[in-house]
Protein backbone atom coordinates (compact mmCIF):
# COMPACT_ATOMS: atom_id res chain seq x y z
CA UNK A 1 0.00 0.00 0.00
CA UNK A 2 1.02 3.59 -0.59
CA UNK A 3 1.34 4.53 3.07
CA UNK A 4 3.38 1.41 3.89
CA UNK A 5 6.05 2.39 1.36
CA UNK A 6 6.19 6.15 1.06
CA UNK A 7 5.55 7.40 4.59
CA UNK A 8 8.14 5.22 6.41
CA UNK A 9 10.73 5.98 3.71
CA UNK A 10 10.22 9.74 4.01
CA UNK A 11 10.20 9.59 7.82
CA UNK A 12 13.48 7.66 7.81
CA UNK A 13 15.08 10.09 5.36
CA UNK A 14 13.98 13.06 7.47
CA UNK A 15 15.44 11.45 10.59
CA UNK A 16 18.75 10.89 8.80
CA UNK A 17 18.62 14.45 7.49
CA UNK A 18 18.25 15.79 11.04
CA UNK A 19 21.40 13.88 12.07
CA UNK A 20 23.39 14.88 9.00
CA UNK A 21 26.39 17.21 9.37
CA UNK A 22 25.88 18.29 5.74
CA UNK A 23 22.21 19.22 5.93
CA UNK A 24 22.07 21.56 2.92
CA UNK A 25 23.59 19.27 0.24
CA UNK A 26 21.80 16.26 1.74
CA UNK A 27 18.41 18.00 1.55
CA UNK A 28 19.12 19.13 -2.02
CA UNK A 29 19.81 15.56 -3.13
CA UNK A 30 16.87 14.20 -1.09
CA UNK A 31 14.37 16.59 -2.71
CA UNK A 32 15.67 15.66 -6.16
CA UNK A 33 15.33 11.97 -5.22
CA UNK A 34 11.74 12.40 -4.00
CA UNK A 35 10.76 14.07 -7.26
CA UNK A 36 12.67 11.36 -9.13
CA UNK A 37 10.31 8.74 -7.67
CA UNK A 38 7.57 10.54 -9.59
CA UNK A 39 9.59 10.54 -12.80
CA UNK A 40 10.35 14.26 -12.46
CA UNK A 41 13.89 15.37 -13.19
CA UNK A 42 14.60 18.39 -11.00
CA UNK A 43 17.65 20.37 -9.89
CA UNK A 44 17.55 22.50 -6.74
CA UNK A 45 18.97 25.97 -7.48
CA UNK A 46 18.31 27.70 -4.16
CA UNK A 47 17.52 26.61 -0.63
CA UNK A 48 16.90 28.90 2.34
CA UNK A 49 15.45 28.51 5.82
CA UNK A 50 13.59 31.16 7.79
CA UNK A 51 10.62 31.41 10.16
CA UNK A 52 10.52 27.65 10.63
CA UNK A 53 10.07 26.95 6.92
CA UNK A 54 12.33 25.91 4.03
CA UNK A 55 12.11 27.73 0.69
CA UNK A 56 13.33 25.79 -2.34
CA UNK A 57 13.77 26.93 -5.95
CA UNK A 58 13.80 24.23 -8.63
CA UNK A 59 14.60 23.81 -12.29
CA UNK A 60 12.34 21.06 -13.62
CA UNK A 61 13.06 19.22 -16.87
CA UNK A 62 10.51 17.22 -18.84
CA UNK A 63 9.23 14.32 -16.71
CA UNK A 64 9.99 10.86 -18.11
CA UNK A 65 6.34 10.00 -18.67
CA UNK A 66 5.50 13.31 -20.35
CA UNK A 67 4.91 13.43 -24.10
CA UNK A 68 7.28 15.82 -25.91
CA UNK A 69 4.39 17.71 -27.52
CA UNK A 70 2.56 18.09 -24.20
CA UNK A 71 5.72 19.37 -22.48
CA UNK A 72 6.40 21.92 -25.21
CA UNK A 73 2.79 23.12 -24.96
CA UNK A 74 3.06 23.49 -21.18
CA UNK A 75 6.26 25.54 -21.52
CA UNK A 76 4.70 27.64 -24.30
CA UNK A 77 1.60 28.33 -22.18
CA UNK A 78 3.76 29.44 -19.25
CA UNK A 79 5.74 31.80 -21.49
CA UNK A 80 2.61 33.66 -22.63
CA UNK A 81 1.91 36.92 -20.73
CA UNK A 82 -1.32 35.61 -19.21
CA UNK A 83 -0.16 32.01 -18.77
CA UNK A 84 -0.67 32.22 -15.01
CA UNK A 85 -4.29 33.34 -15.47
CA UNK A 86 -5.51 30.34 -17.45
CA UNK A 87 -8.67 28.58 -16.30
CA UNK A 88 -8.04 25.88 -13.63
CA UNK A 89 -8.38 22.25 -14.71
CA UNK A 90 -11.58 21.76 -12.70
CA UNK A 91 -13.33 24.54 -14.59
CA UNK A 92 -12.49 22.85 -17.90
CA UNK A 93 -14.65 19.85 -17.02
CA UNK A 94 -18.19 19.44 -18.33
CA UNK A 95 -20.99 19.36 -15.72
CA UNK A 96 -21.17 15.56 -16.11
CA UNK A 97 -17.42 15.22 -15.56
CA UNK A 98 -17.56 17.51 -12.52
CA UNK A 99 -20.35 15.40 -11.06
CA UNK A 100 -18.34 12.22 -11.64
CA UNK A 101 -15.29 13.79 -9.97
CA UNK A 102 -17.31 14.89 -6.95
CA UNK A 103 -18.85 11.44 -6.55
CA UNK A 104 -15.45 9.75 -6.89
CA UNK A 105 -13.96 11.91 -4.15
CA UNK A 106 -17.05 11.31 -2.00
CA UNK A 107 -16.50 7.57 -2.46
CA UNK A 108 -12.89 7.85 -1.24
CA UNK A 109 -14.11 9.75 1.84
CA UNK A 110 -16.74 7.07 2.48
CA UNK A 111 -14.19 4.30 1.95
CA UNK A 112 -11.97 5.88 4.59
CA UNK A 113 -14.83 5.80 7.09
CA UNK A 114 -16.42 2.39 6.51
CA UNK A 115 -19.73 1.78 8.24
CA UNK A 116 -20.12 5.32 9.57
CA UNK A 117 -21.27 8.64 8.14
CA UNK A 118 -18.63 11.18 7.15
CA UNK A 119 -18.64 14.21 9.46
CA UNK A 120 -18.70 17.05 6.96
CA UNK A 121 -17.66 19.76 9.45
CA UNK A 122 -14.41 17.88 10.14
CA UNK A 123 -13.75 16.91 6.53
CA UNK A 124 -14.50 20.34 5.04
CA UNK A 125 -11.48 22.03 6.61
CA UNK A 126 -9.25 19.13 5.53
CA UNK A 127 -10.43 19.34 1.92
CA UNK A 128 -9.95 23.09 1.50
CA UNK A 129 -6.12 22.92 1.14
CA UNK A 130 -6.49 20.43 -1.76
CA UNK A 131 -7.31 23.17 -4.25
CA UNK A 132 -10.98 22.27 -4.61
CA UNK A 133 -13.32 25.17 -5.36
CA UNK A 134 -16.50 25.76 -3.40
CA UNK A 135 -18.71 24.28 -6.13
CA UNK A 136 -16.74 21.02 -6.04
CA UNK A 137 -16.82 20.94 -2.25
CA UNK A 138 -20.59 21.41 -2.24
CA UNK A 139 -20.91 18.65 -4.84
CA UNK A 140 -18.87 16.30 -2.65
CA UNK A 141 -21.04 17.17 0.35
CA UNK A 142 -24.17 16.38 -1.64
CA UNK A 143 -22.70 13.10 -2.94
CA UNK A 144 -21.87 12.02 0.62
CA UNK A 145 -25.59 11.86 1.45
CA UNK A 146 -25.91 8.54 -0.39
CA UNK A 147 -23.52 5.56 -0.56
CA UNK A 148 -21.37 5.75 -3.69
CA UNK A 149 -20.58 2.61 -5.70
CA UNK A 150 -17.06 2.33 -7.16
CA UNK A 151 -18.03 0.00 -10.02
CA UNK A 152 -20.69 2.37 -11.34
CA UNK A 153 -18.36 5.34 -10.94
CA UNK A 154 -15.72 3.61 -13.04
CA UNK A 155 -18.12 2.98 -15.92
CA UNK A 156 -17.16 5.22 -18.86
CA UNK A 157 -14.72 7.12 -16.65
CA UNK A 158 -12.89 9.70 -18.73
CA UNK A 159 -9.07 9.30 -18.34
CA UNK A 160 -8.75 13.07 -17.90
CA UNK A 161 -11.20 12.99 -14.99
CA UNK A 162 -9.26 10.09 -13.47
CA UNK A 163 -6.02 12.09 -13.84
CA UNK A 164 -7.54 15.06 -12.00
CA UNK A 165 -9.17 12.85 -9.37
CA UNK A 166 -6.15 10.65 -8.55
CA UNK A 167 -3.91 13.17 -6.72
CA UNK A 168 -6.92 14.54 -4.84
CA UNK A 169 -8.00 11.00 -3.94
CA UNK A 170 -4.49 10.15 -2.70
CA UNK A 171 -4.51 13.25 -0.47
CA UNK A 172 -7.96 12.35 0.86
CA UNK A 173 -6.96 8.74 1.52
CA UNK A 174 -3.89 9.95 3.43
CA UNK A 175 -5.83 12.32 5.72
CA UNK A 176 -5.67 9.70 8.48
CA UNK A 177 -2.10 8.67 7.50
CA UNK A 178 -3.14 5.21 6.38
CA UNK A 179 -4.77 3.63 3.33
CA UNK A 180 -7.28 0.83 3.84
CA UNK A 181 -8.17 -1.86 1.31
CA UNK A 182 -11.17 0.01 -0.14
CA UNK A 183 -9.19 3.22 -0.55
CA UNK A 184 -6.33 1.30 -2.15
CA UNK A 185 -8.73 -0.33 -4.63
CA UNK A 186 -10.15 3.08 -5.56
CA UNK A 187 -6.67 4.58 -6.09
CA UNK A 188 -5.59 1.61 -8.19
CA UNK A 189 -8.74 1.85 -10.30
CA UNK A 190 -8.18 5.58 -10.89
CA UNK A 191 -4.57 4.93 -11.85
CA UNK A 192 -5.62 2.25 -14.34
CA UNK A 193 -8.31 4.51 -15.82
CA UNK A 194 -5.78 7.32 -16.17
CA UNK A 195 -3.29 5.01 -17.90
CA UNK A 196 -5.88 4.17 -20.54
CA UNK A 197 -5.64 7.75 -21.69
CA UNK A 198 -1.85 7.68 -21.95
CA UNK A 199 -1.43 4.19 -23.30
The closest alpha carbon to 157, from 115, 121, 107, belongs to: 107
Q: Is the predicted pLDDT of residue 136 greater than 70, yes or no?
A: yes
Is 108 found in the same domain as 46? no
- 44 shares a domain with 123: no
Residues 185 and 99 occupy one common structural domain: yes
Average pLDDT over residues 80-98: 67
pLDDT at 15: 81
pLDDT at 87: 43
Last residue of one domain, picked from the residues 45, 62, 85: 85
Type and span of the H or E element at 12: helix 2-19
Q: Are residues 165 and 103 part of one domain? A: yes
Instruction: Pick the last residue of a domain from 85, 119, 146.
Output: 85
Answer yes or no: do 137 and 173 share one domain.
yes
pLDDT tens figures, 24-77 = 888 888 888 778 777 788 888 998 998 899 999 999 888 877 888 888 888 887
Distance CA 26, CA 31 (A): 9
Expressed as residue numbers, the domain containing 30 is: 1-85
pLDDT band at 83 (very low <50, low <70, confident <90, very high): very low
Residues 58 and 127 placed together within one structural domain of the fold: no
**What is the per-residue pLDDT across 148-179, written as a single tens digit (0 to 9) for each?**
999 999 998 988 888 888 888 988 988 887 88
Residues 78 and 98 reside in one and the same domain: no
Task: Give me the number of domains the chain comprises.
Answer: 2
Note whether 57 and 46 are within 8 A (CB): yes
Amino acid sequence: MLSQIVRPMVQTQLRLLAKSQATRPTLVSTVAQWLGFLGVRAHVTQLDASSGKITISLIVDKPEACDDHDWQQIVKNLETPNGHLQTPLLADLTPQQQSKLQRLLAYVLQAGNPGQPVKWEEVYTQLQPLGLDETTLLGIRSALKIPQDLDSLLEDLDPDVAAIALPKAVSIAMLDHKVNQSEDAALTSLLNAMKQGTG
